[in-house]
């Protein structure tokens, strides 16, 4: 059953860059929550903690696509190492500032600069695309990376919160910075699998967002991110209302576990039909899965409902990355993938803020209306933009040629086996 996953690592260097990517993307789930934990412990000011986390997310939404755009032009090694160094220095400045009780503006400056964090997941997916472009194996590779994303979100917050509370307040963000430095250095040291950069003359000018289909995906993912941000905040509030606030991390881990399981199974499937249609169906599934949350009355029931809700996440994410690979020119692939992550980050910030306001005004149970509304918005955007989810013109001929090439390879293998 695991043969398709073993097959993706047949190409030399794939296991090494995937493991490096896993280490390098851990800050995605550790840094924001680590800053919240650190600031709340040291100052007791949750408003300041939330503001710094939101600043980090919004800064990453602005700077992340620009970093990836430079990667497409100049290559991963030349761009990722300086970007990671800037982020590590900014995090170090924040940690020292907290220790020295610096003014609030210094914290916000450091958090804003730390938004230069590279989208390591996009870098790894770009390497898979360079190796398996046009092959069904790419679907399995994207599925594997989606599972790795969920592994980060299962264990990252536990590590970050646990270290900051059990060791010293700065431990969580510090470990996140170490993971970023080690992961980026390890990844960029592997030159053989690095995608070939495309100079300015290959880009045709402008951003990857010039693709109408990519704009639909980013807008949909912004609404989807609001689902995630709202669920996180409301679940913590719900657990506190039930008298078991510490259980919130376990319940949210079950949410990520559902996505992890679905992603692993989805990667074993050989799918036919339109990816755009699968994308819309996945978004609908995410929206519908928010309805049972309005009815839960205790933490066990909430955990079951969130596990079921998680089952639609990874398949939708995997399909989306496949669509990005079809929708944007090859010279802008990394930037295009990062824009989807940007949409998620912006949505998480919005969803967290709105859900927090609703919880303050009407209680935890009422807060689950926010992810339901965000899901409905995501469905509306996906349906309205469905016709725009068509491949970039340059990809039509390339995809036909690549499909024919891989089909001929399959026939040759069958002949040798016979």
Residue 401's pLDDT is 46
Q: What values do phi and psi take at 65, rounded to 5?
A: -60, -30
- CA 15 → CA 19, 88, 142, distances in Å? 6, 26, 14
Task: Work out the average pLDDT over 26-50.
Answer: 79
What is the band of 212 on the pLDDT scale with cuts at 50, 70, 90?
Answer: confident
Instruction: Return d(Cα 6, Cα 265) in angstroms, integer.
Output: 14
pLDDT recorded at residue 214: 87
Residue 35 pLDDT more than 90?
no
d(CA 236, CA 247): 8
Q: Is the pLDDT of residue 392 over 60?
A: no
Give the mean model confidence (pLDDT) for residues 170-198: 91
The CATH fold of domain 207-412: Growth Hormone; Chain: A; (1.20.1250)
> Residue 21: what pLDDT?
92
Is the Cβ–Cβ distance between 275 and 323 less than 8 Å?
yes
Alpha carbon distance 310, 248 (integer Å) = 16
DSSP state of 117: -
Q: Chain-centre distance of CA 32, in angstroms? A: 14
Classify residue 216 by burial, with Cβ atoms within 10 Å: 0-12, 13-18, 19+.
buried
Q: Which residue has the higher pLDDT, 412 or 353?
A: 353
Q: Is the pLDDT of residue 113 over 80?
A: yes
Give whichever of 165-174, 204-213, 378-387 has the largest mean pLDDT: 378-387
Q: Which CA distances in Å does 341 have to 91, 230, 257, 337?
A: 21, 17, 20, 7
Structure tokens at 97: 């500032």
Q: Nearest CA to 224 among 350, 35, 391? A: 350
pLDDT at 141 over 60: yes
In this predicted structure, what is the pLDDT of residue 20?
A: 93
Q: Sign (positive/negative) of CA torsion 268, 266, 133, 395?
A: positive
Q: Are 146 and 317 in contact (CB under 8 A)?
A: yes
Give yes or no for residue 362 having a pLDDT over 70: yes
CB 332 within 8 A of CB 72: yes
- SS3 label, residue 101: coil
Query: Hey, do 1-8+16-194 and 207-412 end up sharing a CATH topology, with the first three levels equal?
Result: yes
Task: For residue 354, name the pLDDT band (cuts at 50, 70, 90).
Answer: confident
Going by pLDDT thresholds of 50, 70 and 90, the confidence category of residue 400 is very low
pLDDT at res. 402: 44
Rounded to 10 degrees, the C-alpha dihedral 220/374/273/319 comes to 60
* CA dist., res. 160 & res. 18, Å (int): 22
How many other CB atoms are there within 10 angstroms of residue 46's CB atom?
A: 12
What is the tens place of the pLDDT at every residue in 178-187?
A: 999 999 999 9
What is the enclosing helix (H) or strand (E) of 120?
helix 120-132
What pLDDT does residue 1 have? 56
> Distance between CA 260 and CA 313 in Å, rounded?
9
CB 279: neighbour CB atoms within 10 A? Answer: 23
Sign of the Cα pseudo-torsion (374, 51, 244, 308, in order): positive
* pLDDT tens digits along 63-100: 888 888 888 888 899 999 999 999 999 999 999 999 89
- pLDDT the model gives residue 150: 77
Average confidence score pLDDT of the chain = 82
- Least confident segment among 89-93, 211-215, 277-281: 211-215
* Residue ranges per structural domain of the chain: 1-8+16-194, 207-412
Q: Residue 31 burial by CB count (10 A; 0-12/13-18/19+): exposed, middle or buried? A: buried
Q: Are the C-beta atoms of residues 30 and 156 closer than 8 Å to each other?
A: yes
Predicted local confidence at residue 235, as pLDDT = 83
The DSSP string of 353-399 is HHHHHHHHHH-HHHHTHHHHHHHHHHHHHHHHTGGG----HHHHHHH
Q: Is the pLDDT of residue 126 over 50?
A: yes
Name the E strands within 131-272. none
Query: For 94-110, what is the mean pLDDT?
Result: 92
Measured in whole angstroms, the distance separating CA 196 from the mean position of its chain's CA atoms is 23
Residue 410 in this model has a pLDDT that exceeds 60: no
**Per residue in 228-254, pLDDT tens?**
888 877 887 888 788 876 677 788 888
Name every residue whose Cβ is closer than 8 Å to that of residue 307 and which is 6 or more positions away in sequence.
254, 255, 257, 258
Contact 392, 329 (CB under 8 A): yes
Q: Which fold has domain 1-8+16-194?
A: Growth Hormone; Chain: A; (1.20.1250)
Would you say residue 414 has pLDDT above 70?
Answer: no
Give the mean pLDDT of 314-336.
Answer: 82
Examine the pLDDT at 112 and tell me if it is beyond 50: yes
pLDDT band at 378 (very low <50, low <70, confident <90, very high): very high
């Amino acid at each position: 059953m695991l043969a398709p996953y073993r097959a993706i690592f047949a190409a030399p260097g794939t296991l090494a860059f995937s493991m490096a990517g896993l280490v390098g993307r851990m800050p995605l789930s550790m840094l924001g929550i680590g800053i919240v934990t650190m600031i709340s412990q040291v100052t007791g000011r949750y408003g300041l903690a939330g503001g710094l986390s939101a600043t980090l997310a919004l800064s990453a939404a602005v700077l992340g696509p620009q970093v990836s755009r430079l990667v497409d032009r100049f290559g991963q090694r030349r761009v990722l190492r300086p970007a990671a160094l800037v982020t590590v220095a900014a995090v170090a400045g924040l940690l020292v500032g907290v220790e020295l009780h610096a003014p609030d503006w210094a914290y916000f400056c450091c958090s804003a600069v730390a938004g230069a964090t590279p989208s390591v997941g996009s870098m790894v997916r770009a390497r898979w695309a360079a190796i398996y472009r046009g092959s069904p194996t790419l679907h399995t590779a994207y599925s594997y990376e989606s599972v790795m994303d969920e592994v980060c979100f299962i264990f990252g917050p536990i590590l970050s919160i646990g270290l900051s509370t059990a060791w010293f307040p700065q431990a969580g963000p510090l470990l996140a910075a170490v993971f970023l430095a080690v992961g980026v250095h390890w990844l960029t040291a592997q030159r053989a699998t690095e995608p070939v950069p495309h100079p300015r003359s290959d880009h045709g000018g402008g951003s990857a967002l010039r693709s109408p289909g990519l704009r639909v995906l980013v807008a949909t993912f912004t609404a989807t991110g609001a689902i995630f941000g709202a669920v996180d905040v409301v679940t913590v509030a719900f657990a506190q209302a039930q008298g078991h606030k510490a259980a919130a991390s376990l319940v949210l881990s079950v949410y990520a576990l559902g996505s992890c399981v679905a992603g692993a199974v989805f990667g074993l499937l050989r799918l036919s039909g339109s990816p755009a249609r699968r994308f819309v169906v996945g978004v609908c599934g995410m929206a519908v899965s928010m309805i049972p949350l309005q009815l839960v009355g205790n933490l066990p029931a909430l955990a079951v409902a969130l596990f079921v809700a998680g089952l639609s996440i990874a398949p939708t994410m995997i399909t989306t990355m496949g669509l990005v690979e079809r929708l944007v020119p090859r010279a802008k692939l990394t930037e295009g993938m990062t824009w989807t992550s940007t949409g998620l980050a912006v949505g998480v910030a919005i969803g967290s803020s709105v859900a927090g306001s609703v919880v303050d005004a009407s209680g935890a149970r009422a807060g689950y209306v926010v992810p339901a509304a965000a899901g409905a918005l995501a469905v509306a955007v996906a349906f309205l933009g469905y016709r725009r989810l068509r491949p970039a013109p340059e990809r039509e001929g390339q995809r036909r040629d690549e499909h024919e090439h891989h089909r001929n390879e399959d026939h040759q293998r069958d002949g040798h086996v016979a």
